[in-house]
Structure 1
Amino acid sequence: MLNFAISSYIPNVSTLIEAVKLRTSPKNAPGILVVSEPGAPGHVKIPGTTKEAQLIKSISASRSLNCTVLEGAKATLDKGINLMEKHSIIHLACHASQNLAEPLKSAFFLHDGRLELSTLIKRNSKVAGGLDLAFLSACQTSSGDRALAEEAVHLAAGMMAAGYRGIVATMWSIQDRHAPDVARDFYERLLSEGASPESLPDGTQAAKALFYSVRDLARRLEGTPSSFAAWVPYVHFGL
């Protein structure tokens, strides 16, 4: 499959229509916000998020693109929410939780609490365009509910509802040791092939960038026991 098609998905037709409307909106907040929480209280540590943030920061600097990193104790709810609307791309490297009974209570775990979808949707409704791409480097952000196969009840769909044109998400748990490599390859391609003459990234190239980054990971791990589980979880939603 990796040799024949670049895949992208949508939760439902209405979200695609809204994404198309937003596609012509100006990028009023160019740049990447990386929120890295390797040790959220009460959760298993994921040290790979630190490397992930450093790689994205370095790649952005080489392209003269603004990149703000909030990590550890600095990755608070207030700072995260306030800075999201000032960056066209948000990269969340942290633990996450889906609430299938009440999807709006699905959340990302930051240093001082849960960043719920309801909060993101409420805040982002006030932002006039500019929300280009959300990379959800967390486990099971697009897995949904087997009992509601036709319903979009996952975090990826929620982030589209929050105003992002495109989402990179995961279908199940991702491996901490490989996530930084996927992020590095993704942003290197996005910020070179998908950049505008003004060095601004184009989120509509995210599906292509993800395709090549997971293909490269699959090739590096070919023949190893962890190969399939390492690259298959990553998916793209939206434009």
Structure 2
Amino acid sequence: MDKALVLEFKELSFHLRNVLEGSTEDTAQIRKLTVQRDNVISRIRMLPGYSRFLLPPLFSDLQKAAEGGPVIIVNASQYSCDALIILSAQDPVHLRLDISRAEVSEWSTELQSITKDAGSSDDCLERNKIVGILRELWQHIIAPIVKALKGLIRPHSRIWWCPTAEFTLLPLHAAGSYVKSGDNLSYFYISSYTPTLAALIRARQQVPRDASFPHFVAIGQGNPGTGKKLPRVAAELRDVAQSVMATPHFTSLADSDATVKQALDALSRHEWLHLACHGLPDREKPFDSSFAMYDGPLTITNIIHLQRPPLHNPEFAFLSACHTTVGHAFSPDEAIHLAAAMQFSGFRSVIGSMWSVDDKVVGQIVSAFYENMFDRSGRLDCTRAAVALHKAVRKLRKQIPIEQQIVFIHIGV
């Protein structure tokens, strides 16, 4: 786009905002600036590729999000709870769910209470209550959606969840009857999530760097300046290093080397990231949510503002940290959480956690996960992440507690 046109648009928008926010409302000036700004917008829309500038996307454009499999939007309101199945080449399918917003909110609140200390190995969780919530999710929400999907896609296909409102805090991917010979969602489909349709479309459109030479960095902080120590971080980094030892460009940062500055520098130069540390969600000020480094917090704002060299498009991030998918306390569907920040900053594929991660268990999940991240030619492939997580959980199902089986989710391609 022409730089002069960009500057003209910015200046007019700035002046218009200042007048609108001023103590005296100058209607003549507002009208003049609005006409000038609309004129600039019209000129921008005449440029190739900018015909929809500042306009909502067409539904046909949003359908591109479903090119790899259907996207299921679930929403709760005071009027009804609904699911909308977005398909790439046909009309969406609407399902009215037999559940109220109050019930969804109640399950969400209860689950947050049960899992608030889930990362403590010595904490005896009310696992029966967790299974009870997963059964309710299956009966009232997921089973009707699976029934509709059976007529649309093949078994074991990938699907994407796009939850809104109170649904964002519920593990939809783990819903099931949890009885012998019963049905669970994971028996039918492989689940991923996306904060928005547009985020998934952007992730699909990003052109990956030559996958033959991935740059992989593992950052671990087991001794942060504040917070309790994570004694198994060093072992986790060793497991990651061994799992991706065939990768020629591998870097590891740990303890005193894992500072905010060095972590940001590494993020700017590596397409693949494994991060093992404390995740610190700030539900009142989500942009202040952070990862605990040696010398302080690595915040969402730091990550979003990160500048990358040409051709260093980020591919994948495994966030082995607590609460990386928790958003705003009063607007949980505002997708400003640590995992979404990674996707918005460019990572096409992200693994994040819904609540506290057990330091004693995560190493098993990580090792089992990376076993399935290589394609047939032995190269790392970020599009395998959802399947790799699915297989890791299935492998360890009888070895780790239910809240740790379902804590990690996949976001993106």
TM-score by length of 1: 0.88
Aligned partner of 2:287 in structure 1 is 104
Matched, 1:55 2:222: no
| CA distance in structure 1 between the aligned counterparts of 2:287 and 2:253, rounded to whole angstroms | 24
AA in 1 matched with 2:409: V
Instruction: State the one-letter code of the partner of 2:280.
Output: S
Q: What is the distance in 2 between the residues matched to 1:97 and 1:75?
A: 16
Greater shift in the superposed pair: 123-132 or 160-169: 123-132
Match of 1:238 in 2: 412
Structure 2 spans left out of the alignment, 5+ residues: 1-184
Superposed CA deviations along residues 23-75 of structure 1, whole A, max 9, x for unmatched, are x23248713211001111221111121111001111222x2443211111111
Quote the residue 1:14 is aligned against: 198
Alignment-derived partner of residue 143 in structure 2 = none
Residue deviations 1:135-156 (CA, integer Å, cap 9, x gap): 1100010122453233212111
Residue 17 of structure 1: how far off its partner (Å): 1.7
Gap change, CA 1:117 and 1:27, over 3 Å in 2: farther
1:126, CA displacement in angstroms?
5.5
Structure 1 residues 127 and 40: alpha-carbon distance in aligned structure 2, compared to 1, 3 A threshold: farther
Identity of aligned residues (%): 29
1:179 aligned residue: 362
Per-residue deviation, 1:212: 0.9
Asked if structure 1 preserves the Cα contact closer than 8 Å seen for 2:284 and 2:329, the reply is: no
> For 1:95 and 1:27, how far apart are their aligned partners in 2?
32
CA distance in 2, matches of 1:176, 1:80: 21
Per the TM alignment, residue 100 of structure 1 is displaced from its structure 2 partner at its CA by: 2.5
For the pair shown, the structure with the greater C-alpha radius of gyration is 2
Residue 216 of structure 1: CA displacement? 1.6
Instruction: Provide the rounded CA distance (Å) in 2 between the counterparts of 1:178 and 1:151.
Output: 30
- Aligned residue among 369, 373, 376 for 1:190: 373
| Contact 2:318-2:352 at 8 Å conserved across structures | yes
Higher relative contact order (CA 8 A, sep 6+): 1
Q: 1:126 to 1:101 in 2, by over 3 A?
A: farther
Pick from 378, 385, 393: which aligns with 1:214?
393
Structure 2 residue corresponding to 1:167, chosen from 331, 341, 350: 350
Residue type of the alignment partner of 2:318: F
* Amino acid in the other structure paired with 2:230: I
Structure 1 counterpart of 2:273? 90
- Could you say if the C-alpha distance between residues 85 and 2 of structure 1 is closer, same or farther in structure 2, counting changes exceeding 3 Å? same
Unaligned runs of 5+ in 1: 222-226
2:381 alignment partner in structure 1: 202
Candidates 295, 303, 307, aligned match of 1:120: 303
Aligned counterpart for 2:254 among listed residues 67, 71, 92: 71
The Cα RMSD (Å) is: 1.9
Distance in 1, Cα, partners of 2:240 & 2:403: 23
C-alpha change, 1:14 and 1:231, in structure 2 (3 Å) is same
Question: C-alpha separation between the residues in 2 aligned to 1:237 and 1:27?
Answer: 22
Query: How far, CA to CA, are the matches of 2:280 and 2:247 in structure 1?
Result: 34
Residues 54/146 of structure 1: CA separation in 2 closer, same or farther (3 Å cut): same
Structure 2 counterpart of 1:140, which letter?
H
- For the 8 Å contact 2:268–2:309, the answer to whether it is kept is no
Any idea what SS the aligned residue of 2:187 has?
coil
Give the whole-Å Cα distance in 1 for the aligned partners of 2:324 and 2:223: 19
Partner of residue 36 from structure 1, selected from 220, 236, 246: 220
